Amino acid sequence: MARSTKTIPGDETIHHISPRKKREAPKPKMQPPMTPMIDVTFQLLLFFLLTMTFREAEGIIPGTLPGGPVSGVDVVDLEKIEISLRPAGEGCLYEIKGLNVGINSPAELYARLKARQAAIGSAEAPVVIKPAPDIGWEFVVEAFNQAMRAEFKNIGFATSS
């Protein structure tokens, strides 16, 4: 026989449970269908992970164009620093006009440029980068970068012709 009373620990009162209450259906659980959403989300996640490529941070180095004067300053009064670039195997050989020393590392080029700047006593001296036609762009940018790093104000490019 079904019990029609309910006892609560610590409570002596007899609680009656009505038959209707006993028949009451259990409350339905709220369960949204998550499977399709998760499926789609994983598909997208996988797609983006497989197709994604990281791009390295890029920046710009400001310069002047060849053809005209290197800068607006009076270039006659200042000694021009000419950096020649020519290929050496897979690398590059830098030469500063007047030094007659082959430079093959960017760090050394920087040091030489700094020394020349100190000798001239001005950062306004025009620096002209003169690459050989078949020199890789990475080496041209390297020379330009080192001149900028040495804080020269007027850096330009010579035409190869």
Partner 1 sequence: MAKSQVFKKGRGEASFNMTPMIDVTFQLIIFFIIAGQIASESLAKLIPPKPYESVSQEADKQIPNRVIVNILSRDPDRKSNDRGLSGQASEYKIGSTSFDVGDTEELAEVLGIRRDRAEAAGYEDFFVEIRAHHTVFYDQIEPVMLAAAKAKIPKMSITARMQTFEMDE
Q: Assign residue 10 a region (left: φ > 0; alpha: ψ between -120 and 50; beta: otherwise).
A: left
Q: Which two tokens stand for residue 159?
A: 């035409």
Of 2 and 65, the one with the shorter C-beta distance to partner 1 is 65
Minimum CB distance to partner 1, residue 67 (Å): 4
Q: In angstroms, what CA-CA distances link 107 with 9, 65, 110, 123? A: 85, 25, 5, 18
Of 14 and 46, the one with the shorter C-beta distance to partner 1 is 46
Minimum CB distance to partner 1, residue 9 (Å): 31
Q: Which two tokens stand for residue 41?
A: 């989300």
Minimum CB distance to partner 1, residue 7 (Å): 26
Of 15 and 22, the one with the shorter C-beta distance to partner 1 is 22
Answer yes or no: are the C-beta atoms of 95 and 103 closer than 8 Å: yes
Minimum CB distance to partner 1, residue 39 (Å): 10
Q: What is the Cα–Cα distance from 142 to 148, expressed in whole angstroms?
A: 10
Of 3 and 27, the one with the shorter C-beta distance to partner 1 is 27
Q: Specify the 3-state DSSP secondary structure of 25.
A: coil
Q: What is the Cα–Cα distance from 143 to 111, expressed in whole angstroms?
A: 12
Minimum CB distance to partner 1, residue 102 (Å): 17
Of 116 and 130, the one with the shorter C-beta distance to partner 1 is 130
Residues that bind partner 1 (CB under 8 A): 25, 27-28, 30-33, 36-37, 40, 44, 56-68, 85, 90, 106-107, 110, 131-138, 140-142, 144-146, 148-149, 157, 159-160
